[in-house]
Structure 1
């Protein structure tokens, strides 16, 4: 019996949005209006493809992009939390489910030396093509009407838990840590003794509070524990071990 920690990445593990942080590698750190105005709600990954095409057009090197990504700040207390998880892998499994991409997350975790804390990352695949441009693909297709077209985090978590169960791994408690609207759907996977941990002041906390206030609404079964720093999460985690 072990504990599962599930993390969002942007504005959760790191204290910014990795997809918008990459713009810092551009001259003037700005995108042209033609790219900025091309975003359509629910189609973020396609938009990021256009962002990375523009960065490629500017002949920004791979190393320059990576160097910029490695400067993104971690959320307060998060490095201590991830260090604790990496030191207790016999009792804690840890996964990341994110709408960022494989390259950004890998670069950021490796630069901090914290990659050993994370067992698996579920995010949009990214690679550099033959022309030197980064390509970002959708993680999967799904039929959930509540989530962006490229990623339903509930579906990812359900499949992960099912595969773990097939291998004889049952989790005593699951902590889901996130901040955004797309972190609401996976809370449906959680049980009464699990915990959904929304970041204070962010969209997920507001969604959960609004649901709780509505009569007849279906709130998550899990306990809601609001956090402001990684220290809050670490305190809850230690209390469960």
Structure 2
């Protein structure tokens, strides 16, 4: 297995929309969602909205049906499968919830490609059939302790990434992290010099990184859409595989790798090495 852990955010990274908004809008609850938004944390709001939708007659099957229609670029699917085929350890780190993520991955045949999914837990109430969404970190019991001031109260992705990096399966491996939102900034600051950060260009995490790129130790390689994500991600994986084998770029001994994984001709929008 390659010495690479690829950590994906989910909303607007694997899928091209925010799954919470997609469900709320798809089931006609946008007005109620916007009314309640200023009154409670997002994670609590989504649990509340599942109750509101259930009370209005929307079933769990209705929720799942909307989730299955969420757009997922086929190039992203191809990138996930290619990285898995090259021996990468794929993980998800998302502030969505487990039911939403599992439903979408299963619909696209991607369930078995990820060794771990870190997200807000969810469960179906056996008595009512209503979906409950809980916080990853129980902020009612106390704060998660991240001092950055950007992470939401229910999840510090930086702390979760630290745990992933320290786990038996990931220890000593190089990390490639992909994300788009403000919550993905904290983990980007915790990546090391041999790691890679792949922010979605034009999205909040990219803007935060651009404010002071020197704060990051990892190399930064941005992307804008599924095609650029696939090209950039496989290029970085190919580069790491070549370095692991002490081979120069484009070595003919790696003919079995996809061409995009070993060709390094694509310019980097932002490169940082401290």
Q: How many residues align?
A: 228
Matches within 5 A, 1:26-65: 26=27, 29-33=28-32, 35-40=33-38, 43-65=41-63
Q: In the alignment, what sits opposite 2:133?
A: 136
Alpha-carbon shift at residue 30 of structure 1 (Å): 3.5
Higher RCO by CA contacts (8 Å cutoff, separation 6 or greater)? 1
SS of the equivalent of 2:167 reads helix
Q: Is the 8 A contact 1:69 1:104 kept in 2?
A: yes
Unaligned runs of 5+ in 2: 139-143, 242-274
Q: Is the 8 A contact 2:6 2:88 kept in 1?
A: yes
Separation in structure 1 between the aligned mates of residue 159 and residue 40 of structure 2, nearest angstrom: 17
Alpha-carbon shift at residue 121 of structure 1 (Å): 0.4
Q: In the alignment, what sits opposite 2:81?
A: 83
Q: In the alignment, what sits opposite 2:179?
A: 178
CA pair 80-152 structure 1, distance change in 2 beyond 3 A: same
Deviations 1:89-108 (A, max 9, x none): xx311110100000000010
Matches within 5 A, 1:6-17: 6-17=7-18
Q: In the alignment, what sits opposite 2:156?
A: 152
Separation in structure 1 between the aligned mates of residue 100 and residue 14 of structure 2, nearest angstrom: 13
CA pair 139-116 structure 1, distance change in 2 beyond 3 A: same
Q: TM-score by structure 2 length?
A: 0.78
Separation in structure 2 between the aligned mates of residue 161 and residue 193 of structure 1, nearest angstrom: 13
Alpha-carbon shift at residue 76 of structure 1 (Å): 5.7
Separation in structure 2 between the aligned mates of residue 157 and residue 197 of structure 1, nearest angstrom: 15
Q: Is the 8 A contact 2:10 2:96 kept in 1?
A: yes
Deviations 1:150-200 (A, max 9, x none): 000011111122122xx68420x2101001110000112211111111011
Q: In the alignment, what sits opposite 1:215?
A: none
1:109 aligns with 2:105: yes
Structure with the greater alpha carbon radius of gyration: 2
Q: TM-score by structure 1 length?
A: 0.88
CA pair 125-81 structure 1, distance change in 2 beyond 3 A: same
SS of the equivalent of 1:238 reads helix
Query: Which ranges of 4 or more aligned residues in structure 1 deviate by more than 4 Å?
Result: none
CA pair 75-163 structure 1, distance change in 2 beyond 3 A: same
Unaligned runs of 5+ in 1: 213-217
